[in-house]
């Protein structure tokens, strides 16, 4: 890497380019890929240089020759459905998550040509750590170690940065020196420690405990990111009553307490199956629940707004979802709500990527040229 030039990255399973937005201007994107036409169109709409580097199509059909030069970083937010607790937990052999191996085949081919990326980040749901009793995480670590990478995992909830509960696992692997970047971290959660403990000795020996510090305390809540009430479409009183009737006693009591207070309160509601019965569950902790795609997992997120003793409900809008992912107001969303929520729900929270970049990924990339600078 030229010390005077920004480090270069490839972004696989790029979606709407949220990892790129998180990495920011400190990095240059040399190649990006996604299979989904809606996400691809959104990426192109938000990144004016997409024509020079964006490839729409199956990752299995990308050839090493399609990837220019050598990247300092390869970012892979591989499809997560087969790791999700809401799915069938098919693991790395599942039809969608097996796309990871299409990505990894490319990384192996680049390494064979002497131009493999110095650092790789694999982002996924927390279920990656435990899928098939940890066998899938072990397989991932074995693949990384087989190409000479040291690696470690961090579990980061986007709620540290934005008012959305969105825990994700980030596996960071590198061939560069790691001194000064290791240590304790609040993101070395119990799930991460247990995943490490399950690794065989030869893989545990390649483990790195990344010392990523905690960010400053978040200073916004869900209510602060919502559109004005008079600009939104609200559900009928009958629909709101039906939603309230679906709540278990504890959740209904939480609503009633806020009605009696007379103060404004905003809660996020998901409908879930509990013991074969559909229930509405609400949270008033200032956080939205984890955003999902409209087609799977939990149902589309609903907002309950209590003001002056009156209870109203409506659906979360795509623009509000974009704010919950830390995206700028200028970010262009697809025209339909379903398409917008599809792109948003499958993305990575940009402020999480930015924190990783500033505190870990960029310092790693700059080390590549450090020995030359010392000569």
Percent of the chain with pLDDT over 70: 91
> 60 with 126, same domain?
yes
Give domain status of residue 275, yes or no.
yes
Integer Cα distance of 118 and 148 in angstroms: 10
pLDDT at site 294 = 77
Q: Which CATH number do you get for residue 191?
A: 3.40.50.150
Over the stretch 102-131, which tens digit does the pLDDT of each residue have?
Answer: 899 999 999 999 999 999 999 999 999 998
Does residue 371 register a pLDDT over 70?
no
pLDDT of residue 273 exceeding 90: no
Q: How many whole angstroms separate alpha carbon 165 and alpha carbon 216?
A: 17
pLDDT reported for residue 367 = 86
Strands 150-157 and 54-56: unpaired
Q: Among 297, 316, 335, identify where a domain stops.
A: 316
- pLDDT for the residue 35: 94
Same domain, 211 and 233: no
Residue 181 has pLDDT above 80, yes or no: yes
Last residue of a domain, one of 316, 331, 364: 316
What are 310-347's pLDDT values in tens digits? 999 999 999 999 999 999 999 999 999 999 999 999 99
Of residues 260 and 367, more confidence is placed in 260
| Coil vs helix vs strand at 159 | helix
Token couple for 352: 């999480």
Tokens 């993305």: give the residue: 347
Quick check: 356 and 164 in contact, CB under 8 A? no
Task: Give the pLDDT score at 87.
Answer: 45
Contacts of 31 (CB under 8 A, 6+ apart): 10, 11, 53, 55, 66, 67, 68, 71
> pLDDT at residue 45 above 50?
yes
The answer to whether residues 209 and 250 belong to one domain is no
What secondary structure letter does DSSP report for 78? Answer: -
pLDDT, position 156: 98
* pLDDT at residue 143 greater than cutoff 70: yes
Q: How far apart are CA 25 and CA 6, in angstroms?
A: 8
Rounded to the nearest integer, the mean pLDDT of the chain is 91
Where residue 296 falls among pLDDT bands split at 50, 70, 90? Answer: very low
Residue located via tokens 């119990």: 190
Residues 184 and 248 in one domain: no
Domain annotation covers residue 338: no
φ and ψ of 97, to 5 deg: -70, -20
Contact 255, 268 (CB under 8 A): no
- Is the residue at 19 inside a domain? yes
Q: Over the stretch 77-95, which tens digit does the pLDDT of each residue have?
A: 987 655 543 444 455 565 5
Task: Enumerate residues 6+ apart whose C-beta is below 8 A from 328.
Answer: 21
> What's the token pair of residue 319?
């623009």
* 114 and 183 part of one domain: yes
Contact 192, 141 (CB under 8 A): no
Q: Are 261 and 360 contained in the same domain? A: no
In whole angstroms, what is the distance from residue 24 CA to residue 20 CA?
6
Distance of alpha carbon 324 from alpha carbon 347, whole angstroms = 11
**Taking the CB of residue 348, how many other CB atoms lie within 10 A of it?**
26
Using 50, 70 and 90 to split pLDDT, how confident is the model at 248? very high
Residues 173 and 77 in one domain: yes
pLDDT, residue 274, reads: 85
- Please, are residues 122 and 356 in contact by the beta-carbon 8 Å criterion? no
Written as six digits, the tokens of 254 are 């939480």
User: Do the Cβ atoms of 324 and 162 come closer than 8 Å?
Assistant: yes
For residue 220, give both structure tokens.
């916004």
CA 234 to chain centre: 29
Same domain, 263 and 180: no
Residue 279 structural domain: 228-316
Q: By CB neighbour count within 10 A (0-12 exposed, 13-18 middle, 19+ buried), where does 218 fall?
A: middle
Q: What is the largest CA-CA distance in the chain?
A: 75
Nearest C-alpha neighbor of 298 from the set 245, 341, 256: 341
pLDDT reported for residue 85: 38
DSSP letter string, 162-214: SSB--EEEEEEEESS--TTSBS--TTS-HHHHHHHHHS-HHHHTTB--B-PPP
Instruction: Mark whether 178 and 262 lie in a shared domain.
Output: no
Sign of CA dihedral 344, 346, 347, 348: positive
What per-residue confidence (pLDDT) applies to 3? Answer: 57
Note the Cα 248 to chain centre separation in Å.
30
pLDDT(189) > 60: yes
Q: How many domains does the chain have?
A: 2
Please report whether residue 174 resides in a domain: yes
Is 75 a member of any domain? yes
Phi, psi of 121 (to 5 degrees): -120, 125
What tokens were used for 174?
């590198």
At 358, the pLDDT band (50, 70, 90 cuts) reads very high
Q: Is the pLDDT of residue 297 over 90?
A: no
Q: Which of 24-33, 67-76, 87-96, 171-180 has the lowest mean pLDDT?
A: 87-96
Phi, psi of 169 (to 5 degrees): -100, 135
Residue 325 counted as domain residue? no
């Amino acid at each position: 890497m030229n010390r005077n030039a920004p480090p270069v990255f490839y972004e696989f399973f790029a979606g709407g380019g949220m990892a790129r937005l998180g990495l920011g201007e400190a990095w240059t994107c040399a190649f990006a890929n996604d299979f989904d036409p809606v996400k691809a169109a959104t990426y192109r709409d938000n990144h004016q240089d997409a024509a020079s580097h964006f490839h729409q199509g199956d990752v299995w059909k990308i050839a090493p020759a399609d990837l220019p030069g050598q990247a300092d970083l390869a970012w892979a937010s591989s499809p997560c459905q087969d790791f999700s607790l809401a799915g069938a937990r098919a693991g790395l052999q599942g039809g969608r998550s097996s796309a990871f191996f299409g990505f990894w085949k490319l990384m192996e081919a680049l390494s064979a040509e002497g131009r493999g990326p110095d650092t790789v980040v694999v982002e996924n749901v927390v279920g990656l750590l435990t899928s098939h009793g940890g066998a899938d995480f072990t397989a991932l670590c074995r693949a990384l170690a087989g190409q000479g990478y040291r690696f470690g995992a961090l579990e980061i909830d986007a709620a540290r940065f934005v008012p959305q509960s969105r825990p994700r696992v980030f596996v960071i692997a590198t061939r560069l020196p790691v001194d000064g970047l290791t240590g304790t971290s609040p993101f070395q959660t119990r799930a991460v420690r247990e995943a490490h403990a399950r690794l065989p000795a030869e893989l545990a020996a390649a483990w790195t405990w990344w010392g990523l510090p905690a960010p400053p305390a978040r200073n916004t809540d869900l209510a602060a990111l919502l559109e004005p009430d008079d600009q939104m479409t609200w559900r009928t009183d009958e629909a709101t009553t039906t939603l309230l009737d679906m709540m278990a006693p504890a959740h209904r009591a939480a609503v009633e307490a806020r009605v009696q207070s007379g103060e404004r309160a905003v809660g996020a509601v998901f409908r879930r199956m509990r013991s074969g019965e559909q229930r509405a569950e609400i949270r008033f902790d200032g956080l939205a629940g984890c955003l999902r795609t409209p087609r799977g997992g939990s149902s589309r997120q609903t907002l309950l707004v209590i003001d002056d003793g009156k209870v109203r409900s409506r659906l979360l809008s795509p623009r509000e979802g974009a704010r919950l992912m830390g995206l700028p107001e200028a970010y262009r969303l697809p025209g339909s709500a379903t398409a917008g929520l599809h792109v948003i729900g499958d993305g990575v929270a940009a402020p999480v990527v930015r924190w990783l970049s500033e505190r870990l990924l960029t310092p790693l990339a700059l080390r590549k040229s450090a020995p030359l600078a010392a000569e």
